[in-house]
Structure 1
């Protein structure tokens, strides 16, 4: 988007024509109300910590149009000085919100540069807003073409020195120095224009899922169960829902977001899918804690194939294996040889791990996936996660990029063709359910336990309130009251300052009525400060940790009584000191336990799991919520004790589903130990209400859209309201 004087003159003439041809909503500056609405949308997202790629582009375009409109208003000789002053004041209001938002997220500051809103997506967004305002644009502003994509660099310069080549990889490359070209790859079809090429589509695609447009579960149509099971090795049996997925692979589908609920056998499905698609060599990028389990599953379901687990620099790996298993943390040093070995498939387990596009973890996975698609036509690309949406619908972004469905700025060719075939545009209400279905048909597979495993026992979450009636408990409640008062004091100061600034102006709130925007602002500021402070001062995180410490002995004692009456128990805690206290209590009670923590080796971890599942003398498994919440099968127990609460509904679900999964024969009960009369009670309530995002986006269930707020933010808002006397 050039910024030369002629271009400015052209825009001024266009804007002048825009003013004369606009509707009566705002004769002098019809674009200002649009900018005011859009900047509030961006501000609301930023306050919730959810400023994804679409809203960052929106931020750019608002800033650009504010500058453009300010220059036009100053130069317009047809308006009075009073009108000019009023318009500039309104533009300053929009700019002030931009500045406050940038102060909250400093990475936005660079987007305020004059030449930042030059991408095709930004230019399309600018054009659409101007047309909405009634503008008459020149032809060169109406037609916007995409820039040619640049090939992805798999190994960035910063990682070049870290690259390793394991000895066996050199042997494999010498044995087969040339990769056979993929002659089946079609010629590029660049230059083909589609009806929707001029539209900004990523925002509408996210909105289609955020609103649950169209309803129904987000799962593509799958073939029926085949008459014969030709895949299961001797002694094993593929379940019907797994068989239907594998039939889709057999029929040629190659990219999937496999979002089945935890416990429905996604690892086995992936291993068998590679066999059906002959997608070898296959790379599985997985959390460190499940590497050994992946190797076991390959040996179990495809015994004719060899898997190798990559540790460290890969000195002990087998480069002639069919399946390479690597964890996210060490992938960066193996990018070079993995990108040149001729991979024909890639699986990303717990794919929500890559949702942060600024992280090296995400960038490494996406770069490698891009190289595989450059080398192979229709590679097998699988993203596995039972919880693809954690905080916001834009958590889909990285997963869709990995699968090749979008590039972050626009849909890929196949998805664009599906959207084009609908005959609709984002201006049509019917576009949103059609768009949702188009994305789903690209390969989203989502099955619930209640739908595909009718014989799976019930799952119950039972809350056990406990009284913290000692001095420690009283100090926690006092700290909670002090935090609430600090939040309330900040709220009052903001209200007073705004009241002084707005004297004589109408107010939108009645006396005594709380301003939700200010409550949210106060809570978000406290949350940001708490994250920056860590454990160095009293804040919501240290308070919740102290509550966990206070509950540790009570939760462990309940687990002892439970084990003696029902058998094996899985005990989950979030903090190491709570786990230590629980294990000490189990030893003192004569109860043998095993421990699953983040600092264990894969071998020690698997030994602990095997001991719990197979040794009748082991009564309790003490597990970290963050380290043992994925990739662990513990069906030997049917009772779970949650000594500490998680900050996300997804983390709690993942933990419980270590027990409630295929192979479980007994009804499962999760016992949540909750500290009565503390913020713990509210957190438990919030976790239950925050299930809504996945239910709305993936399962087609109508829920409160506000339930996508983080638990931390909602808990602090609750404390603020309570201190102000509203609750």
Structure 2
């Protein structure tokens, strides 16, 4: 085992470890656990011999711990519920035999949950929910009526090579050329927009939805960030009745898709796929998965009968030779084979990154082309021009034909009247893996400690406290906890938790800021802690994005140079700012997008940060993207900050407010919310006949 552990340690020098190294790491970890249990239970060993064996095993565990610290992706293999593959069991069997242990000739392999359609994919899984879905629909035959006839129909262009001229038509200088397909009139579109549970569509959003209602089914939606592409896609699916709907998105926005489904189409069920999909609801109307785990699920996705597919940040599939692109294109073809006129949408603010060829994979996903030529409606539109590639007007006509297939591109400046001059957009993200579990465990421990204090105080009262929660007592307990946390600043307290959440969000926030920079240009990135700023700057550098920073320890000259570089140098995409050092006295209105990687404790500090770009001289609507860690105290803090914002606005408008509410501290209220939520959950559990977890 020691030799294998050293092999894995060497492999982890260049993380992430892959393939055989990951298998070896998991097998050694399992064997160390089992061997420790065996040694402790072996009564034939003397105390000295047992201590010697345990010391050797502790040495191996130390090697594994150092390896996992270098490559944190290995931590997932140590979880109690971690999946042990057949190859890992086989390797474990081999190691035990080599060590002289008596083992069965054939290792006990896990029973397959269901045959996997993607047998060639070693990572493929089939969640139990998907098996249940297939069993519930055993006679659901695919509808092949929509299969396109890809045979070349006789025509003027049947013998021409057309893909290259189509791509070149977007490279040629064409002042005033059409950049967006013809959409319904805004006023007419607004009158036909579906009911939105009290929410209002902006005119440019209603235009796309109206186009779907009129029968259009393929879109390259290339609106700038902040114009509501997610809402448009979900309402388009509703208008087309494109359910079940598959959404493929980057991990950083996966949870936001679930939030938007609940916001815009609350009558539709959404399920987000995590890991191997153990918790996925295959019967949901909308299934959301991220690119990184798509390879595990592409097999069973193909048999789900999706009637619509949305690919978010579609420029990520531009490399057709990548596994990611091949999976997306294969799924798209499968959906078109089974579904008459499915809704297919590619969402990206940057359809082109390096070369016009970046269009190829997106157009193929949408069904406009295949590897060799235009298909269906696009080919018909080209034939209708009555032109061939050598004709003078072909390139202009070809470009228009492609655009009318469904390219929709609007910029903030063009629809400024539709959108607020300043808005905060929350982006919930999932803290997964060991770090996420640790943070949620710390939060649970903190709330359990305060609930125990509350229960103890109630039990000491001489009279029956009656039903309901004593909020005054809860606030006093929370205040005491806050005071204790401020003095100790160690252990599971609100300060350390928020700090850890900020650190855990750093990479996700930086990833989203990098996407924004690719899409719209300059971005302002705000954080509270130096380590979060450092990690973000490293990620930007790794992505080839030039960034500068504003920090508290800078000289005046260095500070001015950073501001000048960001505002004047077109190659500087991002400025990384400290909330405390750059929240006031800085003009950064050259950008209209801002990322708040960590939450402030006050609305005033948040507003000051946003006002670095929302100020005189700003010509575009401003969007502040607030990164929120879902299912943690982060969400509670965000809601409290927003409530204080409304309170401040009412006070400034001269409306009387309750002083007790007006002076409330966000940190105190966050702790109160934790305790109240835990007490309500415990009471609900008792009502259902189960013992309280706090008794």
Question: TM-score if structure 1 supplies the norm length?
Answer: 0.45
Bigger RCO of structures 1 and 2 (CA < 8 A, at least 6 apart): 1
